[in-house]
Amino acid sequence: MIAALLVVLTSLLGGAVVAQAHQINLTNARLSLDSDRTVEVEVAMRGSDVDRVARTRVFDDASGLVEPGALATSAAPIVAYIETHTAVLGENSRPCRPSAGDVAPDGDGVVVRVPWSCAGVADPLRYRSTVLTDVSPDARQVVLIGDGADAAQDLLDANRTETSITAAPPPSLLQVIGRYTEAGIEHIFLGYDHIAFLAAVVLWARRLWPVIKVVTAFTVAHSITLSLAALDVVRIPSSIIEPAIAASIVYVAAENFLSRNVDKRWRDTFCFGLIHGFGFASALQEFGLPRDALVPALASFNLGVEIGQIAIVSLVVPALLGMDRVLTPSRRDPARPAFAVYALSVVIIGLGSYWFLDRTVFSA
């Protein structure tokens, strides 16, 4: 059981290496309609995904970044792929005409810009995308329509490949709730650092009440800062928040060597939950918030995060109790073996230290 838990926690390290600015199988598109009826389509995608679909070699695995020189020589097939897998259509599916596109590096990703001329093409205009769905059926694309804070937001996937550009109807309240709840659940399960933090806090837990206090404190705290950041009331740079999240993981894991009192750890989770809330807000801001359904979207994302963390704790705590019975089968009331908690804590400290260095020293 210890080995299994060690493997699970150590595997987070591998996931952390690829959990950078651009997520795998997730692309972003921004659409803007100019006065001359030119639709500017800007698609951002991860460099490794570009290599996968355009058969290029622009992404450097060693540095985790896109090589500008390699990108410059591989622009043609990349633009060709985007033009093949996107389209702007008018009334009766009449297509607009693409003009010459260009590419630019964006850290670990690539931004492809293609203008579509829709002069003479009648409304309503629609945008169609099958980017990445030809190789990954689970791929999705977040679409922002317009500029600035008033941009409309939509989500495309293999089952829904089109969205409106002109006269785009706002999503229904139920659609907003479902979309942002799903985004919150997905973020907590892909947020390896948040998982490691929660796991470290409950390693000594053997009763339900301390776990409830820990989860509740974490939820209340991150809800406060998530709301403040998402509403632009408080803004702290990610260059401060991300290393602070990593440091919080090291702290709570190291605390397992000094104290076994889980009853009071809700104080730690509340304090550090305030920091993690700013991290959740960064993910939510990348996903986008609809101005006409701001409160439901924010509440739904928070609900999704809560569902996700309850699911994680519901898996970790029973696994720990099962480990107790396996390692101390002769005892009527199995105790938590200290060496097991220490071993798991060491792994989590290693993960937190790696993330801290990656977000400070190695990010320079």
Residue 116, helix vs strand vs coil: strand
Residue with tokens 């290693």: 350
Q: Position 264: which residue type?
A: K
Residues 6+ apart with CB under 8 A from 164: 124, 125, 126, 127, 145
Residue 317 has pLDDT above 90, yes or no: no
Q: How far apart are CA 67 and CA 104, in angstroms?
A: 10
**7-21, 76-90, 143-157, 227-241: least confidently modelled range:** 7-21
pTM to 2 decimal places: 0.57
Residues 6+ apart with CB under 8 A from 262: 201, 202, 204, 205, 206, 207, 210, 211, 214
Residue 144 CB: number of other CB atoms within 10 A?
A: 17
Bridge partners, residue 109, by sequence: 46, 106
* Better-scored residue on pLDDT, 17 or 80: 80
Per the CB < 8 A criterion, the answer to whether 19 and 192 are in contact is: yes
Residue 306 CB: number of other CB atoms within 10 A?
A: 20
pLDDT digits (tens, 9 = 90+) for 128-186: 999 999 999 999 999 999 877 678 889 999 999 999 988 645 677 888 888 889 888 98
- The set of long-range contacts for 358-361, using a CB threshold of 8 Å and a minimum separation of 24, is 358/16, 358/246, 359/239, 359/242, 359/243, 359/246, 360/243
Residue with tokens 């919080």: 248
Q: Where are the domains of the chain?
A: 26-169, 174-359
pLDDT digits (tens, 9 = 90+) for 287-314: 777 767 788 888 898 899 889 888 988 8
Residues 6+ apart with CB under 8 A from 19: 190, 192
